[in-house]
């Protein structure tokens, strides 16, 4: 569970009385008394007041005011968590209203009552029922022209949608309610620095058009929560600052506290996407000045100025600033009087400081003790339950911090621990496991509605039981851990809450595996896998509680199941491994496919594969050439290889015992030397090691089946290495000298056609001049003009854009008006593990990921007129990140481009011009495939003494459909 985001459901008294009557005066007096008592927090007295009012109105035969009093009575019971009494009161009110003759007063009170009934459903843990009731309230409000209450109810609707994971729907609801630009809801719609001021002005202008500033501020907070869930952090931050300014203007201290808590969460989201090596002390001069006595202006106005000073275009997020901002915001949130918000801010701040490591052990102990003390004064609410569970999880992380290196035996819950303390925590007193168990058990009891609590929260019960299971797993009480985890799963529906069920099936599978119940473990892991597959649409673009941290909460499920199916854990220490069954091998390949797709989804923060793909196996078996598909999977202690030979149903399996760290070190070294000139010896040394791992075990099988082409489905850092460069030390040959080589992102591909079956029709474009965009200089590519002229002569049907003509509009217009089969871009481009660092250089701008995708997706449907080949002849991928090439492949997959040919690092542009001319010439020969055309061109380069260095010829990689 991630930090809890405070969601304020707006509420107010029902006060619709006939204005010219004695009863109106009596009713107003009741309301004034109740308001006075509520302002002092005297909720029991408020309840007594409304009960007396209801009795009085009933004795006088005033049914409408009786129902009004009952509705307010229900609202008051909700304040004390007296849910049964609240339900009884609201039902009594509705029974009166639905039998009462229709009138303006009846309609107003009925609308209010429906609204509060929806809030009761939310408090009872049934937001879906609230969403059925609130449209009725909105319809009534529209009939009686109550825009303020319409806005309030729509904000509440959006909050309920967020609880159900309906984030796109919640975003659109808020955009409509607040009359904002619908583009705000687009995934990955990053707010650029140069657009900040105009965005602030648009929010300011909208603010002047709204009469209900308090509600508008509340709606902006809700919208910011949605945007954080969709990774639109910059926009969320600006919206929160605007909400804070409004709250300051109207002097709403309660709302200011809400803004500070959510501002802390948003800043912490920035921290979570920042590389850990960027750690620096948590201080910032701008924030320090913000909190000084000299600051007499608006906190949030000054803070906006702080944000403007610390970011420059395309700079990595400033870890120190955002960590400081989160810390500052959580401390400000603790200054409010709401005990639940204070407690939540404490827990979130504790987790933040543990992650950053910029805190002393003694301060950690003080924060824990303070949180335990604050917990004692919490009321009965759903939010307080989840805050306490979050505290319990943090305490589990602290208690078992020294065992984090043993994740293979730990509960999945331990993967959620982010403790980066610069000092040993052994000296502090951490609450005992008995204390942790007491906290969790107390939450479960309250969630069951026992004692003073009347809550009914099955999700909280499930989390509590699962946490107890995790605690017992850490204590090696495996039987009890399995029983508790099974009980957690029995308490919920996997169909209704797959985002929760998958996690506890994962934990149960791990416990069974530790008990050597392998088949039971595989069964539980399979259920977790299937639930994750069903969640593909929800794992992205959703709240962080559902989106998860992919590396810690999603990817391990796939890898651990693959390891179980292949027996990688059971017989890793044996001299000879046991070959898995064909069924297990096929399933392992399918899980690899699921992992690749999930990783693409996570990388782009939205589902990627929307086209109708072809299965690789079918494509391989129908091919005229002899092809082998090689899956390489990196596990903790081994490299697992699954081989598929064309025309053969039986899969082959090989294992190389090699620790993951060793594989990573070799691949990083190889990637580094490949980009350098004069490092052929080192390239051969490290690429030979990879050859021995991947190819040597398969050599006999490949030779016996006269394999011509190798298609790789690779994992992790292997994707960043051009397989063509793998070196056979025995025969002194690179892999490309014997095989055509292609990389595919998964088991499914978009269909393609041979070039001669569909004549090439190309849009060739490039930039030869030096450019400076957003302060970033790009060197001239002096041979681009030669490259484009050569291609124009080789490809009869073509159009060209060079230098100042290469603009977004020109590209867009040409792609929309022509059915090009090839888009060739000879301009600087970069693909990185960070989506924000992906770009393609045009003459006057850098196209970001979204713009690239929009350009390439020029048709709505995947059809024969879509791009068959995208060529990036001056592209580079960032060193070290496992996802750089994934980004390259993913852009094409998302846009429906069948194949991509790109350089993985910068190559001299005169060499590139020669390579591309040769490639296109060969591609248009009879029966020529892309994979063969690339192979023949690279073989030619190897024969040329001036191009034999691996950093020159091996940079060109074919990704996607190889035909």
User: Do β-strands 839-841 and 776-778 pair in parallel, antiparallel, or remain unpaired?
Assistant: unpaired
Question: Alpha carbon of 432 to those of 368, 435, 440, 514: distances in Å?
Answer: 12, 5, 13, 24
Residue 57, pLDDT above cutoff 80? yes
Q: What share of the chain is helix, strand, coil (3-state, %, to 5)?
A: 60, 10, 30
| Radius of gyration, CA atoms only, the chain | 31
pLDDT of 937: 96
Q: What is the mean pLDDT of residues 613-640?
A: 85
β-strand partners of 956:
903
Residue 317 is given by DSSP the state P
- Judged on CB neighbours under 10 Å (0-12, 13-18, 19+), 681 is exposed
- Could you give the CA distance from residue 866 to residue 896 in angstroms, rounded to a whole number? 7
pLDDT in tens, 675-712: 998 899 999 999 999 999 999 999 999 999 999 999 99
- In the chain, DSSP finds a helix count (H) and a strand count (E) of 38, 21
What are the CA-CA distances from residue 547 to residues 477, 535, 538, 730 (Å)? 30, 10, 7, 48
pLDDT class of 915 with cuts at 50, 70, 90: very high
Q: Which long-range contacts (CB under 8 A, 24 or more apart) does 145-150 make?
A: 146/108, 146/111, 147/211, 147/212, 148/211, 148/212, 148/215, 149/111, 149/112, 149/115, 150/177
Q: CA-CA distance, 140 to 580, in Å (whole number)?
A: 64
pLDDT surpasses 60 at 296: no
- pLDDT beyond 80 at 92: yes
pLDDT tier at 663, thresholds 50, 70, 90? very high
What integer is the mean pLDDT of 482-492? 94
Residue 202 in this model has a pLDDT that exceeds 90: no
Distance CA 321, CA 672 (A): 31
Q: Is the pLDDT of residue 342 over 80?
A: yes
Q: Tens digit of pLDDT for each residue in 528-539?
A: 999 988 876 555
Of the candidates 640, 625, 636, 644, which has an alpha carbon nearest to the alpha carbon of residue 661?
A: 636
User: For the whole model, what pTM was predicted?
Assistant: 0.84
Range 829-837 average pLDDT? 79
Average pLDDT for residues 425-448, to the nearest whole number?
90
Report pLDDT digits (tens) over 789-810. Answer: 999 999 989 999 999 999 999 9
Contacts (Cβ under 8 Å, ≥6 apart) of 47: 73, 76, 77, 80
> What is the reported pLDDT for 572?
55
Q: Mention every residue, 6+ apart, whose C-beta is less than 8 A from residue 528.
A: 502, 503, 505, 506, 509, 557, 561
- The beta-strand segments (E) located in 779-828 are 797-802, 822-826
Q: What pLDDT score does 529 carry? A: 93
890 band by pLDDT with thresholds 50, 70 and 90 = confident
Interior/surface letters 62-86, b for 16+ CB within 10 angstroms, e for the rest: bbbbbbbbbbbbbbbbbbbbbbebb
Higher-confidence residue of 326 and 28: namely 326
Q: What is the DSSP letter of 275?
A: -
Tell me the C-alpha to C-alpha distance, in Å, between residue 785 and each of 12, 87, 767, 873: 69, 76, 8, 13
Residue 946 structure tokens? 């001036």
How many angstroms separate the CA atoms of 753 and 955, rounded?
A: 25
CA distance 76 to 14: 12
1 or 58, which is more confident: 58
Give the C-alpha separation, 164 to 108, whole Å: 29
């Amino acid at each position: 569970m991630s930090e809890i985001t405070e969601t304020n459901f707006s509420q107010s008294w029902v006060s619709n009385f006939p204005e010219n009557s004695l009863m109106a005066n009596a009713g107003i007096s009741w309301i004034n008394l109740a308001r006075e008592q509520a302002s002092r927090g005297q909720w029991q007295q408020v309840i007594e007041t409304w009960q007396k009012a209801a009795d009085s109105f009933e004795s006088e035969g005033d049914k409408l005011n009786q129902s009004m009093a009952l509705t307010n009575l229900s609202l008051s019971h909700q304040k004390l968590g007296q849910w049964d009494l609240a339900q009884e009161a609201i039902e009594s009110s509705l029974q009166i209203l639905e039998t009462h003759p229709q009138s303006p007063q009846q309609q107003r009170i009925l609308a209010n009552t429906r609204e509060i009934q929806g809030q009761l459903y939310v408090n009872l843990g049934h937001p879906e029922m609230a969403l059925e009731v609130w449209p009725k309230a909105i319809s009534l409000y529209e009939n009686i022209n109550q825009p303020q209450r319409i806005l309030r109810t729509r904000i509440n609707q959006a909050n309920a949608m967020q609880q159900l994971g309906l984030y796109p729907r919640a975003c659109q609801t808020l955009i409509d309610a607040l009359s904002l630009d619908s583009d705000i809801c687009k995934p990955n719609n990053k707010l650029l620095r140069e657009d900040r001021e105009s965005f602030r002005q648009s929010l300011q202008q909208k603010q002047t058009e709204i009469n209900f500033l308090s509600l508008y501020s509340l709606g902006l907070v809700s919208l910011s929560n949605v945007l954080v869930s969709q990774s639109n952090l910059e926009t969320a931050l600006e919206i929160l600052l605007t909400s804070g300014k409004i709250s300051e203007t109207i002097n709403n201290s309660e709302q200011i506290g809400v803004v500070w808590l959510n501002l802390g969460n948003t800043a912490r989201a920035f921290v979570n996407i920042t590389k850990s090596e960027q750690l620096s002390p948590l201080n910032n001069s701008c924030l320090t000045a913000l909190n000084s006595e000299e600051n007499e202006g608006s906190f949030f106005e000054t803070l906006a100025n702080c944000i403007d000073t610390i970011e420059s275009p395309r700079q990595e997020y400033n870890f120190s600033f955002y960590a400081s901002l989160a810390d500052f915001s959580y401390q400000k949130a603790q200054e409010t009087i709401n005990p639940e918000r204070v407690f939540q801010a404490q827990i979130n701040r504790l987790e933040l400081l543990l992650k950053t490591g910029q805190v002393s052990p003694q301060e950690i102990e003080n924060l824990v003790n303070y949180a335990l003390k604050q917990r004692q004064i919490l009321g009965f609410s759903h939010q307080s339950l989840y805050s306490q569970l979050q505290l319990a999880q943090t305490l589990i992380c602290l208690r078992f911090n020294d065992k984090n290196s043993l994740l293979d035996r730990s509960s999945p819950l331990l993967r959620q621990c982010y403790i980066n303390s610069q000092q040993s925590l052994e000296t502090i007193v951490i609450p005992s496991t008995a204390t942790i168990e007491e906290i969790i058990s107390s939450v479960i009891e309250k969630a069951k509605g026992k004692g003073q609590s009347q809550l009914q929260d099955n999700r909280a019960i499930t989390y509590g039981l699962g946490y107890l299971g995790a605690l017992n797993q850490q204590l090696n009480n495996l039987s009890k851990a399995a029983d508790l985890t099974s009980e957690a799963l029995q308490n919920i529906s996997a169909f209704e809450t797959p985002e929760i069920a998958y996690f506890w099936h994962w934990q149960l599978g791990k416990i069974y595996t530790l008990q050597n119940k392998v088949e039971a473990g595989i069964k539980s892991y399979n259920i977790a896998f299937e639930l994750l597959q069903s969640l593909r649409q929800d794992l992205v673009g959703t709240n962080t509680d559902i989106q998860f941290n992919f590396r810690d909460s999603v990817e391990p499920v796939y890898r651990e199941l693959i390891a179980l199916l292949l027996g990688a854990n059971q017989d890793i220490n044996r001299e000879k491994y046991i070959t898995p069954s064909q069924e297990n091998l096929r399933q392992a390949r399918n899980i690899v496919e699921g992992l690749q797709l999930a990783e693409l989804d996570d990388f782009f923060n939205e589902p990627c594969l929307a086209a109708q793909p072809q299965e690789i196996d079918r494509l391989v078996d129908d091919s005229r050439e002899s092809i082998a598909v090689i899956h390489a999977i990196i596990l903790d202690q081994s490299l697992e290889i699954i081989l598929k030979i064309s025309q053969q149903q039986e899969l082959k399996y090989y294992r190389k015992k090699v620790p993951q760290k060793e594989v990573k070190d070799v691949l990083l070294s190889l990637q580094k030397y490949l980009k350098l000139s004069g490092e052929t010896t080192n390239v051969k040394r490290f690429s030979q090691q990879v050859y021995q791992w991947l190819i040597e075990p398969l050599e006999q099988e490949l030779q016996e089946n006269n394999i011509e082409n190798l298609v790789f489905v690779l994992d992790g850092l292997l994707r960043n290495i051009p397989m063509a460069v793998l070196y056979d030390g025995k025969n002194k040959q690179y892999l490309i000298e014997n095989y055509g080589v292609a990389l595919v992102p998964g088991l499914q591909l978009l269909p393609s056609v041979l070039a001669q079956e569909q004549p090439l029709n190309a849009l060739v474009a490039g930039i030869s001049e030096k450019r400076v965009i957003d302060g970033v200089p790009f060197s001239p590519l002096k041979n681009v003009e030669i490259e484009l002229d050569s291609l124009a002569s080789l490809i009869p049907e073509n159009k060209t854009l060079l230098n100042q003509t290469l603009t977004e509009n020109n590209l867009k217009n040409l792609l929309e008006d022509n059915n090009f089969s090839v888009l060739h871009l000879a301009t600087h481009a970069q693909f990185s593990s960070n989506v924000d660092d992906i770009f393609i250089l045009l003459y006057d701008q850098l196209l970001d990921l979204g713009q690239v995708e929009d350009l390439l997706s020029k048709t709505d449907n995947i059809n024969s007129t879509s791009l068959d080949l995208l060529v990036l002849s001056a592209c580079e991928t960032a060193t070290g990140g496992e996802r750089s090439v994934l980004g390259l492949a993913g852009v094409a997959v998302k846009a429906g481009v069948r194949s991509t040919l790109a350089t993985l690092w910068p190559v001299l542009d005169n060499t590139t011009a020669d390579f591309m001319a040769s490639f296109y010439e060969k591609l248009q020969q009879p029966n020529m495939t892309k994979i063969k055309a690339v192979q023949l061109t690279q073989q030619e380069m190897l024969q040329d003494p001036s191009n034999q260095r691996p950093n020159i010829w091996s940079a060109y990689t074919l990704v996607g459909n190889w035909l």
